[in-house]
Amino acid sequence: MLKKCLDSHGSVISSILILCVLCLGINCCAAQTVFLPDENELLDEISFASFHFFWENTHPDSGLVKDTNVSKVCSVASLGFGLAALPVGVERGYVPHSAAKLRAVKALKTLKKSNAQHDGVYCHFIDMATGNVTKKGYESIASSIDTALMVAGALVAGEYFGEPVKSLAEDIYARVNWAGFTNPENGQVYMAWRADDPSQMNGSGIFDKQTWDWYTDETLLIVLLGQGAPRKTHRLKPETMTNFARPVGRYKNGKPYVYSYPGTLFTYMFAQCFYDFREMGDDPMGVDWFENTTRAVIANRDWCRDNAKTYSSYGQNRWGITAGSGPGNKYVVPGHPPRGATEDQGKHGTLHPYGVGMSVPFLPADSVKALHEMRHLKVDGKPIWRSVESGGYGFLDGFNIDENWVSDHVIGIAQGPMLLMIENARSGLVWELMMKNKHVKTGVRRAGFKGAVVN
């Protein structure tokens, strides 16, 4: 049936035919992956190290989390992953429940007082100590995706710790005017709003032209949260679940899937960190997004294997192309076909270990093998792993063997997805907490999903 839904080239199909594109070949269930003892030992080592990035890079008074190990500002997205990481840290015995809960309370109280937001949508970067607009030199736009990641993490923490974390999280969620961030011409959500004066976020400004008009898991995350907004006046309309581009393709003879514009792995993962799409069923156009991401992961793995002779960083157990630091610590967004972009958006040959770390729920055996190989990999004698005991946080952000380069950076929006997805594969903890929230259930139902989780 899948083949009947595609043209002979596996290219973009009409929105009508997309109803049958992702009929399930796999019957996913809620049971978690069972790992062998040595695999669990490796995953725990990675989780422990990743968690400590957030634990050790949090401001003691504000509770806010650094963007990277070398930055001086808080990334709201990194904070979202850090908030969701707190339950993992407690359940794994890394930190006490009381200390983790206090961190969540501090962070959310800081956000409530912050002036670095417009209509409830927060700036990408905020001041570490105060949560307010950063000094000149840092990005100060209200960002819908960074806010969505923060809200998702806050909701997870709220469900785990209870009061007052739950009320603080839901109050911040309720303030976000998703409807006000919608382009009236096409009904799509804007990516960002720019103030005329960055220090006056509630003053005059303008929306950037870009909207979330193409499938990416970022789009899914924004739409699902926007559908479930606690204040009905702030909710997105149900059609925002279907009004973005959904091109379908395949890599070689692999199974077809809806692909993102850059074709980089994180664009298939961010909503999956929080929402349990295994339990949500098909969306209104018949797509199972868990299966879709699984197919994208397989394509990523196969593309790397096929190009291992061209790029030394790739191999049988070295794959997971995604965005992050590149040579010279320049941010790169490499991708591979199928994708919408035709230009080279990033340096091929650069790998980021969190790519396979995020992939554990979708392709557990191959992902763990890749993590094991990268855990012990050295590039020109320099390891890409630095233990907590030696002052590191596990994997450094990226490496490129052809250029004898290893990043010195550790990035919150890389460590976070890896930590959450490994935990979801092992216990389902983050998924379970997210799907308990009544507003999340409302959003899933309004977006048109039919699975058991909406009941």
Answer whether residue 200 is part of any domain.
yes
Residue 51 has pLDDT above 50, yes or no: yes
The pLDDT value given to residue 347: 63
pLDDT band at 198 (very low <50, low <70, confident <90, very high): confident
pLDDT value for 342? 81
**Mean pLDDT, rounded, for 259-282:** 97
In a domain, 60, yes or no: yes
Confidence label for 18 from pLDDT (cuts 50, 70 and 90): very low
Q: What tokens does 258 get?
A: 């809806």
Contacts of 279 (CB under 8 A, 6+ apart): 30, 431, 435, 451, 452, 453
Identify the pLDDT of residue 272: 98
pLDDT of residue 22: 44
- Does the structure show a pLDDT above 80 at 306? yes
Determine, yes or no, domain membership for 270: yes
Domain-embedded: residue 81:
yes
Write down the pLDDT at residue 24. Answer: 36
Burial status of residue 206 (CB atoms within 10 A of its CB: 0-12, 13-18, 19 or more) = exposed
Q: Is the pLDDT of residue 452 over 90?
A: no
Q: Give domain status of residue 455, yes or no.
A: no
pLDDT in tens, 126-157: 999 999 998 766 777 999 999 999 999 999 99
**C-alpha dist (Å) from residue 188 to 212, 214, 372:** 6, 10, 41
Statement: residue 443 has pLDDT above 50 = yes
The predicted pLDDT at position 3 comes to 30
What amino acid is encoded at 238 in this protein? P
Domain contains 304: yes
Confidence category of residue 419, pLDDT binned at 50, 70, 90: very high
Residue 340 has pLDDT above 70, yes or no: yes
Kindly tell me if the per-residue pLDDT of 36 is higher than 80.
yes
Q: Give the model's pLDDT for residue 30.
A: 55
Q: How confident is the model at residue 455 (pLDDT cuts 50, 70, 90)?
A: low
**How many domains are there within the chain?**
1
363-405 pLDDT, tens digit per residue, is 999 999 999 999 999 999 999 999 999 999 999 999 999 999 9
In a domain, 443, yes or no: yes
Considering the domain boundaries, does residue 454 fall inside one? no
Q: How confident is the model at residue 329 (pLDDT cuts 50, 70, 90)?
A: confident
Structure tokens at 175: 């303030």
* pLDDT per residue as tens digits for the range 207-258: 999 999 999 999 999 999 999 999 999 999 999 999 999 999 999 999 999 9
CB 203 within 8 A of CB 197: yes
Report pLDDT digits (tens) over 76-122. 999 999 999 999 999 999 999 999 999 999 999 999 999 999 999 99
| Domain around 102 | 3-449
Tens digit of each residue's pLDDT (9 = 90 or more) over 37-50: 999 999 999 999 99
* 169 in Cβ contact with 109 (< 8 Å): no
Q: What is the pLDDT of residue 80?
A: 98
User: Which amino acid is present at 443?
Assistant: G
pLDDT of residue 32: 81
Q: What is the pTM of this model?
A: 0.93
pLDDT exceeds cutoff 60 at 10:
no
Tell me the CATH number at 254. Answer: 1.50.10.140
